[in-house]
A and B are shown apart, each in its own frame.
Chain A
Amino acid sequence: MPDSATPGFDGLEHIVVLMMENRSFDHMLGSLGLDNPNINGINNATDSPDTTGAVVQPQPLAEFQGQLNPDPDHHFPAVDLQIFGGNTDPNRTANMQGFIKSYFNQQRDVAHSQKIVYYFSKDNLPVLTTLASEFALFQCWFASIPGPTICNRAFAHYGTSFGRVDMNPVYISEPFRSIYSRLINASPKHTSKLYYYDVPSSTMEIVNILQNQPELFGTFEQFLNDCANGQLPDYSFIEPNFGDHESDGGAQAANDQHPDHNVQAGEFFIAQIYMAIKRNPSLWTSTALLIVYDEHGGIYDHVVPPSCIADQFTATANDTGTNFDFHFDRLGVRVPAVLVSPWIPQGAIVNRTFDHASIPATVTKFFLGDFSPRSPRETTANVFIEPKGPQANLNNNLLSLAAIRTNCPEFDV
């Protein structure tokens, strides 16, 4: 039997997804474009008008904490302004010129509003930028809808938000199971877990999964133990710490990077997860880790979100808070997304379009193959790991190296 040409892909057993909070691609990874013209980052960014008409350039002046206060508005109407620059004409074109105007609306401070186009220099984010440079950088990963957290995270769990564009509970109205239920109820059964940071931080998916299937959850401490003991499930979803709180283990600073939480705390968290997998050689060779952000948090990005296949739901003009219905046929703003595996060539850049529906799409196809019912958005989403078998498009396989890399980075966490 000949050796496999893609041993990393053939030997893949675990998929881990970490979903962070509220930062845009240009804000976190746009600086990489200044060194690498193949990356569509700040090198291609456009200037934005402020409310006085002055033109403002993006600058590497983003701060770890205390700058984006108040929290930039990222609800549907505000994101509409950010993308379309305030144009409400039915035949309007997106121009990504409304970020400063949107932030100005919150505090009426011209100087402060300009900070929404600030970005991090590469050196200030050593973990995320290193992983983006060393592994696979997705430069066309978008939020699933141009709106806030809860409905975007729903796409990662269900492949749809069941018609929601706001922060109200997502109630399941169609027989679209969560990715976790699909896996644990499959035959043969697969294993799956949502790891929240700790009990006081808990999960953002409460009304359906926590309330009905609390056994699906574990803590971050358990994740670390599961990595060390080789007991990681087939599919893991990790949620960061959403708020500062005291615990038996001491002060727990929020590490989700949601404004105005300290961005360095999130860098440390990402590094912990990466090193937990890497320290177990068996896990390291058989795991793919996706680091992605739920939405842009109202922060600047220059890439116009593309249209997509419509979901089967409609949000009315009343639901959206704009003059328009929304048919879930347009993606949200671009977010950072990186896929980590020692089988990925250094510096890989992925130009295909993804959104969070790609997560259940990928995990389902990889572990279960054909599965229905699933939402239209999920069934048409690109996958970031090819399925096994004849359906695989090996041209898109990111775990393509014939030999495992021995030069992967390490962090002092």
Chain B
Amino acid sequence: MAIIHVPRPPMSAFNPNREASALLRTQVEHMHIAERRLPERYRTKIYVNAIQTEGEVAAYIGQVTTAIAQAHQDAARKRAKLTARPGSMLKIAAKSDSRPRSKSKSSAVGNNSAAARSKGKSKSK
């Protein structure tokens, strides 16, 4: 089968100054909702009500899309740092085990049997 030619659109088809359609204005609205949920350091300085053209829409949407991705990446990095320090977490747990127990009556009676039960359980670590 012969290769089918696909005509390219003319250069005149490209017009970033074209007035933004209702669809693009809706996309801006939804992006603005998402932008308002971002911490301030991620937000653009763009006044969305002033956006009129397709080029301006793209500039705004590009910034917000990038900011959302960045915010998630930063959160993931922070999460990874917290989970990468197991040593310090175990030390805190060991410290709490060595604290002297209170000498109240109820706790003394309860703790003996509770301590005996938890001894057996803690060995599974």
Contact = CB atoms under 8 A, between A and B. Distances in A.
Given A243-B54, A264-B8, A268-B9, A202 B1 contact: no
Contacts of A408: 1
Contacts of A71: 21-22
Interface in B76-101: none
Contacts of A251: 11, 14, 16
A199 B27 contact: no
B58 A201 contact: yes
Interface string B1-39: 101111111110111101011111011001101100100
A302 interface: no
Contacts of B20: 243
A199 B57 CA distance: 12
Contact of B24 (A150, A242, A260): A242
A211 B68 contact: yes
A412 B4 contact: yes
B6 A243 contact: no
A148 B24 CA distance: 13
A265 B27 contact: no
B69 interface: yes
Interface stretch (B59-67, B104-112, B113-121): B59-67
A21 to B, nearest CB: 8
B9 A244 contact: no
B4 A253 contact: no
Contact of A267 (B6, B37, B72): B6
B33 A207 contact: yes
B51 to A, nearest CB: 11
Contacts of B33: 169, 206-207
A206 B72 contact: no
Which of B26, B31, B58 has the most C-beta atoms of chain A within 10 angstroms of its own C-beta?
B58
A411 B6 contact: yes
Interface string A339-379: 00000000000000000000000000000000000000000
Contacts of A409: 1, 4
Interface residues of A, number: 48
Given A167-B26, A244-B18, A253 B58 contact: no
B30 A201 contact: no
B14 to A, nearest CB: 4
A32 B48 CA distance: 44
Interface in A235-265: 242-246, 251, 253-254, 258, 260-262, 264-265
B9 A410 contact: no
B1 A64 contact: no
Contacts of A413: 6
Contacts of A264: 7-9, 13
B5 A126 contact: yes
Contacts of A228: none
A395 interface: no
B3 A411 contact: yes
B13 A65 contact: yes
Given A167-B22, A244-B15, A253-B13, A130 B34 contact: no
A149 interface: yes
B61 A200 contact: yes
A17 interface: no
Identify which of B1, B6, B57, B72 gathers the most chain A CB atoms within 10 Å of its CB. B6
A204 B4 contact: no
A407 interface: yes
Contacts of B31: 202, 206
Contacts of A201: 58, 61
A370 B72 CA distance: 32
A88 to B, nearest CB: 24
Nearest to A22: B23
Contacts of A126: 4-7
B3 A206 contact: no
B16 A130 contact: no
B13 A245 contact: no
A410 B37 CA distance: 46
Contacts of A204: 23, 27, 30
26 contacts: A64-B9, A126-B7, A167-B26, A207-B34, A210-B65, A210-B68, A211-B68, A214-B65, A215-B72, A242-B27, A243-B16, A243-B54, A243-B55, A244-B16, A244-B54, A244-B58, A245-B62, A251-B16, A253-B9, A254-B54, A264-B7, A265-B9, A407-B1, A410-B1, A411-B4, A411-B5
Given A126-B6, A200-B61, A202-B27, 11 more contacts: A150-B26, A199-B62, A203-B65, A210-B34, A242-B24, A243-B16, A243-B57, A246-B16, A251-B14, A264-B7, A411-B4
